[in-house]
Chain A
Amino acid sequence: MAWATGISLYIYSYMIVVKAFGQVKEVLGTEVLVNKEMTDVKSLRDYLSNEYPTIVWSTVAIAVNTQYAHDPDPINSGDEIALIPPVSGG
């Protein structure tokens, strides 16, 4: 139909759900939604460090899909990300 011609709708949705635990959870809440594209663990760490400067990020590990991850490891849409402050089980 003529009235619809040329109308394009772009929906851009990129969102990472980041789980938080322990003392990090008390600052961030149970989950943080990140609406910015992150390519790897380092980019997420840098983003979070900037957003939440009160957390000592050098002590917080990041897990991707329930495995400890390192700065160069990639992050893909749909991955399960978690922030792991120093553990104290036992």
Chain B
Amino acid sequence: MVQIVENIDLNEVYKQLADPAAGGTCIFVGTVRDNSLGKEVTELNFETYDAMAISEMEKIRVAAIEKWGLEKAIMIHAVGEKKIGDPVVVVGVAAAHRKEVFPACQFLIDELKKTVPIWKKEFFTDSSHWVSQTP
């Protein structure tokens, strides 16, 4: 499952990953941090190119399933205005054993940051800017 949503429901993600053949589940949640570049962040705003973002996320998801033999993989990203602590991205995988789930989960978020057309605008107390690097 890949989705672009207004608000992320973490409980729903966990439910969707449930699978009787899976003995391990790993979920990464990215949230809004209150600082960046040594400045106080007040909020973030995410913009997406929906059709392409879905298409790119699906490519990554399929690659992860094939590489690690996963039972399930999920990628969800939020759009719009997000406050400190809000979840903005969640990726999760379920597989037979724990050995596969950690690298697979890291792969999902790392690749999302490289290729999926989503943009983050950071708002500080006195200014704002589009983030162009993804550490």
Contact = CB atoms under 8 A, between A and B. Distances in A.
Interface of A: 19, 21-23, 25-26, 59, 63, 66-68, 80, 82, 84-90
B51 A89 contact: no
Contacts, number: 77
Interface string B42-75: 0000111101110100000000000000000000
A22 B47 contact: yes
Contacts of B132: 23, 59, 85-86, 88
The number of chain B residues touching the other chain, given as a range, is: 20 to 34
Given A66-B52, A66-B55, A82-B52, A89 B46 contact: yes
Interface string B107-130: 001001111111111000000001
B133 A88 contact: yes
